[in-house]
């Protein structure tokens, strides 16, 4: 069988994804995650007298913590299989990546296994996040110094 014939056979046999359904699932899962995050923000504002601005950090930490618990129990895997990219795009995807790497390497021990591999997947997110924050702050500082933007 030639390569072209094989490619045509593979194309015919490969199931076609139902894009609209996949997009709808991702929207619903991502929207639900964001709604839960907004409810947590309202909780911090209402019961701990945070402002909308100061409630952001504890909200993110709470969301990451919840996803880490869900990942450890195996529930987040089911959510992500259903919702696809909708579960990976919000900050919850970061928590899932961190804990998944830790769970995968726990058999190698606490230090070399979990400690050495916990940020394997999320390390690039942390590095590029810190670098991006540095350059944005640098640009803002320069713009403030030359008078384009006011502090």
Give yes or no for a contact between 133 and 140, defined as CB atoms under 8 angstroms apart. Answer: no
**Same structural domain, 20 and 52:** yes
**Same structural domain, 63 and 27:** yes
> CA-CA distance, 60 to 40, in Å (whole number)?
9
pTM: 0.69
The per-residue pLDDT for range 45-71, each reduced to its tens digit, is: 999 999 999 999 999 999 989 998 999
Query: What is the domain range of residue 133?
Result: 121-151
User: What pLDDT does residue 34 have?
Assistant: 92
The per-residue pLDDT for range 103-141, each reduced to its tens digit, is: 887 788 878 787 777 777 677 777 888 899 999 999 999
**Same structural domain, 129 and 116:** no
**Same structural domain, 99 and 135:** no
**Same structural domain, 139 and 69:** no
**Same structural domain, 94 and 20:** yes
Please say if the pLDDT value at position 2 is more than 90. no
Please say if the pLDDT value at position 90 is more than 90. no
Q: Which residues, at least 6 apart from 41, have a Cβ–Cβ distance to it below 8 Å?
A: 52, 55, 56, 59
């Amino acid at each position: 069988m030639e390569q072209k014939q094989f490619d045509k056979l593979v194309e015919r046999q490969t199931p076609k994804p139902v894009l609209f359904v996949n997009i709808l699932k991702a929207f619903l899962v991502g929207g639900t995650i964001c709604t839960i995050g907004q409810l947590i923000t309202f909780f911090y504002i209402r019961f701990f007298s945070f402002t909308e601005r100061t409630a952001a950090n504890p909200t993110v930490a709470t969301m990451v913590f919840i996803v880490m618990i869900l990942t450890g129990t195996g529930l987040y895997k089911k959510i992500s299989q259903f919702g696809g990219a909708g579960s990976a795009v919000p900050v919850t995807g970061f928590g899932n990546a961190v804990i998944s790497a830790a769970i995968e390497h726990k058999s190698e021990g606490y230090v070399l296994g979990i400690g050495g591999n916990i940020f394997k997947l999320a390390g690039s997110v942390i590095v590029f996040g810190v670098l991006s924050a540095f350059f944005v702050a640098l640009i803002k500082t320069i713009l403030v110094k030359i008078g384009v933007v006011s502090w």
